[in-house]
């Protein structure tokens, strides 16, 4: 009888261990699936940004046209200067955007500590949004996705504008680029520029609200 009971116990042992193995396998497959979803989401976002950037940058004007010294003249009054700035901002908006981006990159490269802070914040955002799958628990309370995003945004804002010099460096770069853009826009004669009908009604900010569409060209 004892041998019979021992045999039954040994036969039952694998069956008790199998659920644990199954749950472990399920957990592993779940983590793998989460990683695949995160990777696919990040790849989709990167591809979308790349396509949009390619569409926008295709609309930049030739730099010899931007830097044409024969088209430079002093505006007679403030009204003429503002009119020139408006027309040139609509025509050269992609080139002006590149000037702003280049100025920001050069300025941050000259301030490596601020560049390091930006890199650390970017890495934190990528980890929080795409990598980390477990919920964040503070004081026994699980944070919702909205609370997580609001908290990270607040932390980024405080870090950039109060705890480090990143905000100062950024506004310095922005001020320099805007001064260059405004000076070029005021002194560049727009009389020989050809704008699309819809393009003539757009400004530099329209780059961030949607890719401009093409239409019939008209002389400014």
DSSP annotation string for 39-98: HHHHHHHHHHHHHHHHHHHTTPPPHHHHT-GGGB---SSHHHHHHHHHHHHHHSHHHHHH
Query: What mean pLDDT do residues 138-155 have?
Result: 92
Residues 95-132 have pLDDT tens digits of 999 999 999 999 999 999 999 999 999 999 999 988 88
Q: Which segment of 14-18, 26-30, 155-159 scores lowest on mean pLDDT?
A: 14-18
Q: Tokens 């699980």 identify what position? A: 142
If one compares 53 and 86, the residue with the highest pLDDT of the two is 86
Report how far apart, in Å, the C-alpha atoms of 179 and of each of 19, 53, 66, 172, 184 are: 69, 24, 16, 11, 9
pLDDT tens across 42-66, in order?
Answer: 777 788 888 878 887 888 999 999 9
The band of 205, judged by pLDDT with boundaries at 50, 70 and 90, is: low
Tell me, what's the pLDDT at 35?
58
DSSP 127: I
User: Taking Cα atoms as reference points, which of 119, 107, 102, 130 lies closest to residue 160?
Assistant: 119
Per-residue DSSP letters for 145-182?
Answer: HHHHHHHHHHHHHHIIIIISSHHHHHHHHHHHHHHHHH
Kindly state the helix (H) or strand (E) to which residue 111 belongs, with its residue range. Answer: none
SS3 142: strand
SS3 130: helix
Q: What is the structure's pLDDT at 25?
A: 47
Give the per-residue pLDDT at 100: 96
Q: Which residue has the higher pLDDT, 91 or 208?
A: 91
């Amino acid at each position: 009888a004892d041998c019979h009971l021992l045999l039954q116990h040994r036969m039952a042992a694998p069956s008790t261990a199998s659920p644990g193995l199954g749950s472990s396998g399920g957990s592993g497959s779940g983590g793998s699936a989460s990683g695949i979803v995160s990777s696919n989401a990040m790849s989709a976002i990167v591809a979308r940004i790349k396509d949009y950037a390619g569409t926008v940058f295709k609309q930049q004007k030739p730099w010899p046209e931007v830097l044409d010294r024969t088209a430079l003249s002093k505006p007679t009054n403030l009204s003429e200067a503002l009119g020139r700035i408006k027309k040139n901002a609509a025509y050269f908006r992609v080139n002006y955007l590149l000037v702003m981006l280049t100025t920001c990159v050069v300025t941050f490269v000259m301030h490596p500590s601020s560049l390091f802070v930006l890199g650390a914040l970017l890495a934190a955002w990528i980890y929080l949004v795409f990598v980390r799958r477990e919920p964040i628990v503070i004081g026994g309370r699980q944070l919702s996705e909205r609370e997580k995003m609001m908290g990270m945004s607040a932390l980024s804002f405080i870090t950039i504008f109060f705890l480090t010099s990143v905000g100062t460096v950024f506004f310095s770069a922005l001020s320099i680029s805007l001064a260059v853009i405004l000076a070029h826009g005021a002194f560049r004669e727009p009389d020989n520029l050809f704008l699309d009908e819809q393009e003539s009604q757009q400004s530099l900010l329209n780059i961030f609200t949607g890719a401009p569409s093409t239409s019939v060209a008209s002389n400014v």
